[in-house]
Structure 1
């Protein structure tokens, strides 16, 4: 994994990224979720079977090792910065993007601006609008910590365990908890305010209208989602099952079961290969 900075001059910042694979290969961009970092994609960046691709995992502003830029934390600004990052990396060529959780929902919010994407693989990221939240998500008290301004070490550990499968090893829990503690809590509170003020865009409508191939996936032990919700989506470009469920994983299947996730990613890449 090669650390690098991705300048975004229009936003007066630069995002921290990790790169791997063939710099001349087809681009695959990985976008982590709420309070998570690019380091969680090590099972993809280091995977021998993916090295023919140019692999880039990025840290959103205020998350991972990217700078804390509070002016970019509102989801509309965060989404705009994310679009700029993907466009900068793609350099006018189609890209396949993997969006995890909040990272995926930011991409869904901006989907009309991303019609040139080769494909979008969404992990734990159901397309929603304000009216759909209760139907799509199943947050208990621990899950609600994803909107908390500050988290103690114990809360970060509890949230990490909640995101992972029941028998997740201590090393995985420690990795996720470290990312959660490193995150700027203002990213979470800006998201909570955005939702509370009814500002979510109609992601369901975006999915119904897009020409971009889409795939939805999560782990079989996912706690945050109602799987049946995905059957209700009008998604003409959806690839494969309404929701791909990966074994031995919960909310972070790319970390918990990289073999199964990478197999799914390769199949989606083959299905969206350019002529």
Structure 2
């Protein structure tokens, strides 16, 4: 439940692929990206699923939140928005990159009865340190998102993609400047306090954790430790891939999700 000085953010949900009668997959974005850009190829490639995505407050189609929010409050708002879009109590499959993966962990822990399977991509039960997020907020409040964009190529992509940009990688970097700086800072503040490491042994939803070998933000080693503490989970690492694996390695991500979501064990 939200505290008196917070309010649930208004989350925009976007249809990405599939038909209304298909089982539902929900995709979540990373900090600084639009779900439609990040997951476009994967969404179109997943077979047999109705795929929908959501945007962070202040990103893409979602308005900046009126008040600060926690990751737990964001997760509850995402589930409410999905239920409004597809009907309540539908069984769901979920995959999220980075902050979207954090939201997925929160959802699976808080609402295990709603999820057939979940996947976190280049994410974690705790991402960076509180000081990292405080420093990021200070930087954006002083200078806007320009310095963040300048540093994001090395942070988001594996070495090969960073050195040889594609149209898609250029586009996702350019769109970072479309994010509302206030919404970006709200997301950083939510990440600052997010930590579900102690809750991982409670996990009831089959979990897939995917790491990029070149990811310096949420490393393969951190993901391996997460899986070691999470019942019923499995781990995959993608070579030569950085932090935005759905954009950088869509075929590999599609293959992993297709298998995992087909093995969830509940209709």
- Taking the aligned partners of 1:75 and 1:145, their CA distance within structure 2 comes to 16
| Residue among 93, 98, 103 paired with 1:101 | 98
| Residue among 161, 179, 182 paired with 1:186 | 182
| Residue among 244, 257, 262 paired with 1:265 | 257
Tell me what 1:92 maps to: 89
- Taking the aligned partners of 2:157 and 2:9, their CA distance within structure 1 comes to 35
TM-score by length of 1: 0.78
Is the contact made by 1:36 and 1:64 (CA closer than 8 Å) also made in structure 2?
yes
Is 1:120 aligned to residue 118 of structure 2?
yes
- Taking the aligned partners of 1:147 and 1:251, their CA distance within structure 2 comes to 21
Number of aligned positions between the proteins = 250
Cα root mean square deviation, aligned: 3.0
Offset at residue 173 of structure 1 (A): 2.6
Cα 1:16–1:236 shift into 2, 3 Å: closer
Offset at residue 251 of structure 1 (A): 0.8
Task: Say which is worse superposed, 57-66 or 103-112, in terms of deviation.
Answer: 103-112
Cα 1:177–1:187 shift into 2, 3 Å: same
Q: Please, which runs of 5 or more residues in structure 1 have no aligned partner? A: 1-9
Partner SS, residue 211 of structure 2? strand
Is 1:75 aligned to residue 107 of structure 2?
no
> Residue deviations 1:96-129, cap 9 Å, x none?
100111121123234332212011100111113x
| Residue among 15, 18, 22 paired with 1:21 | 18
Offset at residue 133 of structure 1 (A): 4.5
- Taking the aligned partners of 1:20 and 1:164, their CA distance within structure 2 comes to 25
Partner SS, residue 96 of structure 2? strand
- After superposition, residues 1-275 of structure 1 pair within 5 angstroms as 13=10, 15-39=12-36, 40-47=38-45, 50-71=46-67, 73-88=69-84, 89=86, 91-116=88-113, 117-128=115-126, 133=128, 144=136, 148-149=140-141, 151-153=144-146, 155-168=148-161, 169-194=165-190, 199-200=193-194, 202-233=195-226, 234-238=229-233, 240-241=234-235, 244-274=236-266
Q: Please, which runs of 5 or more residues in structure 2 have no aligned partner? A: 1-6
Cα 1:176–1:270 shift into 2, 3 Å: same
Offset at residue 188 of structure 1 (A): 3.3
- Taking the aligned partners of 1:146 and 1:98, their CA distance within structure 2 comes to 30
